[in-house]
Chain A
Amino acid sequence: MHPTQLEISRRDLLISSAATVAAIGIAGGAAAQASRNEMAYTTKLTFTVNEEGRELDVDNRTTLLDALREHLHLTGTKKGCDHGQCGACTVIIDGRRINSCLTLAIMHEGDAITTIEGLGKPDDLHPMQAAFVKHDGFQCGYCTPGQICSSVAMLAEIQANIPSHVTDNLNAEVAITPVEIRERMSGNICRCGAYSNIVDAIIEVAGTKA
């Protein structure tokens, strides 16, 4: 385990005494199995969100999604289901899209996280955000940040030649087609049903990129 985690354990929530903790800190990983009961229910962590370093002291149970929304007030990332069934919580970590509801904040020590707020601002939109506005790729707007984060990372996945369920030939370059986009975006549910417009927006961005 990381020694840093011991230093930052919140005293009031420690099960055992500080002295025991310090001793384990010195013993390091080999003693980790013995330290189980001495560890804390909260953890301090440091990560980068939208290129800004952030420090948090969170309940171990805190999902990355709740850390963003409730602790950092970055509420652009949405909670639609909290169970990996809708994609509204999609963020990008080190270039990859994930569901922030199904990962613990404390598992992201040192990670670089990009949320919708980091892609663009109202007066300085990311091309994908601008395309969503132009093509009306949303209605209520609740799934929208997830759709946009997902689509940005999704295009990068195609560029990286990662196959999908609809890829014809596994051993050829993956092409950017509406069918590929639809399959790859299927982890982002839009109950307002803006799918047709979202695909138009993504195709426009993909086209200008190419």
Chain B
Amino acid sequence: MRPFTYERASSIEAAAKVAASNSQAKFIAGGTNLLDLMKLEIETPAHLIDVNDLGLDKIEATSEGGLRIGALVRNTDLAADETVRRDYGLLSRALVAGASGQLRNKATTAGNLLQRTRCPYFYDTNQPCNKRQPGSGCSAIGGFSRQHAVIGTSDACIATHPSDMAVALRTLDATIESVKGDGSRRSIPIADLHRLPGDTPEIETVLEPGEFITAVLLPRPLGGKHIYRKVRDRASYAFALVSVGAVIQPDGTGRVAVGGIAHKPWRVEAADTELPNGARATSRVLLADARSTGQNRFKIDLVERTLGAVIAAAKG
């Protein structure tokens, strides 16, 4: 870990301004992913801006009948919130499917969205990785790729986004609120937040340098059955091989997003309309352009099978 200076931000605007003016600065909130990566010098900020004191730890009702979740709300608190449990059960379910009790107590809403891939080649600084060192190559292609993406990949990167929470937020059509370095504010639909790798896998979101997520907005509750099904090798404390987040109405219509298969939470709106026609029809649309490495071929079947289980559970 390289030496860094440290400050506790006193205002959102000040924090964003410092970050925008200094390419070596990073925000730190829970720190559970950033410090992990700093120890390995995969992240090497020269300055840390601690944003824990900005009062962004509240969950409030919005005038539109939705919910505004402060960026610094801890994963545990978000999962345990009564309104979230009642109206956005999918979000609670996705949160508690991730990480461990200890990590959820520190990890924040914005930090969870911005966590980086767990690709083991990204994590080993001796190995080529376009995401870590642009232009060096992708070791996962042709290497150990059982956990890697099967859709939206590029020749430069086949990493997945590891978040469970993001899958739920994508299903729920959340909106990200942010402040840019110049103090201006904007809203970003969750669908647009994460990028596909393309030729620049090192750029993972549409956030500008210094741009700071302040909150996540949930629209009005959807009703229906909320199901988050995470499939993994061990029973807990593991990243998803495949996960399915779905909200399904009594008539069988609904919406679905999939985790563990792409560089971002994967949702294809056209696939939602296939839900009443069953898992096969839905996954055919969801995974229309799927491309496996061989080692991760099983994920394509697994999405369909998991989707089948979710649809059956919604009926049951």
Contacts and interface: CB of A to CB of B under 8 A. Distances in A.
Contacts of A153: 101
Contacts of A163: 79-80, 85, 92, 96
A186 B102 contact: no
A87 to B, nearest CB: 6
Contacts of A170: 85-86, 89, 92-93
B14 A33 contact: yes
Contact of A157 (B31, B93, B101): B101
| Most B Cβ at <10 Å: residue of A59, A90, A182, A187 | A187
Interface stretch (B5-13, B257-265, B304-312): B5-13
Interface string B68-91: 000000001001100001100100
Contacts of A107: 28, 31, 50, 52
Interface stretch (B15-23, B136-144, B187-195, B274-282): B15-23
Contacts of A102: 30-32, 35-36, 103, 106
A61 B76 contact: no
Nearest to B10: A29
Contacts of A59: 3
B103 A63 contact: no
B10 A150 contact: no
Interface stretch (A92-100, A127-135, A199-207): A92-100
Interface residues of A, number: 55
A162 B76 contact: yes
A210 interface: no
A107 B8 CA distance: 9
B39 A83 contact: yes
Interface in A1-40: 1-2, 5, 15, 28-30, 32-33, 35-37, 39-40
B42 to A, nearest CB: 11
Nearest to B16: A33
A182 B156 CA distance: 40
B237 interface: yes
A26 to B, nearest CB: 15
A20 B50 CA distance: 22
A165 interface: yes
B47 interface: yes
A96 to B, nearest CB: 5
A99 B6 contact: no
A187 B106 contact: no
Contact of B102 (A15, A43, A90): A90
B105 interface: yes
A159 interface: no
Contacts of A82: 39
A36 B47 contact: yes
Contacts, number: 144
A198 to B, nearest CB: 14
Given A162-B80, A187-B102, A1 B39 contact: no
| Most B Cβ at <10 Å: residue of A1, A153, A165 | A165
B101 A187 contact: yes
Contacts of A29: 10-11, 14
Contact of A41 (B5, B9, B230): B5
A164 interface: yes
| Most B Cβ at <10 Å: residue of A104, A154, A160 | A104
Interface string A126-167: 000000000000000000000000100110010011111101
Contacts of A35: 7
A209 B110 CA distance: 37
A90 B52 CA distance: 21
A138 B189 CA distance: 48
B97 interface: yes
Contacts of A157: 76, 101
A63 B35 contact: yes
A196 interface: no
A184 B101 contact: yes
Contact of A32 (B7, B31, B35, B80): B7
Given A84-B102, A84-B103, A163-B96, 8 more contacts: A32-B14, A87-B100, A104-B28, A104-B31, A163-B85, A164-B96, A182-B236, A183-B236
Interface of A: 1-2, 5, 15, 28-30, 32-33, 35-37, 39-41, 43, 59-61, 63, 82-84, 87, 90, 96-99, 102-104, 106-107, 150, 153-154, 157, 160-165, 167, 170-171, 182-189
Ranked 9 nearest A-B pairs via Cβ: A187-B100, A29-B10, A186-B236, A39-B5, A33-B18, A170-B85, A1-B7, A162-B80, A186-B237
22 contacts: A1-B10, A2-B8, A28-B10, A30-B10, A30-B14, A32-B14, A39-B5, A39-B6, A60-B6, A82-B39, A84-B32, A90-B102, A96-B76, A96-B105, A102-B36, A102-B106, A106-B6, A162-B80, A170-B85, A170-B86, A171-B85, A171-B86
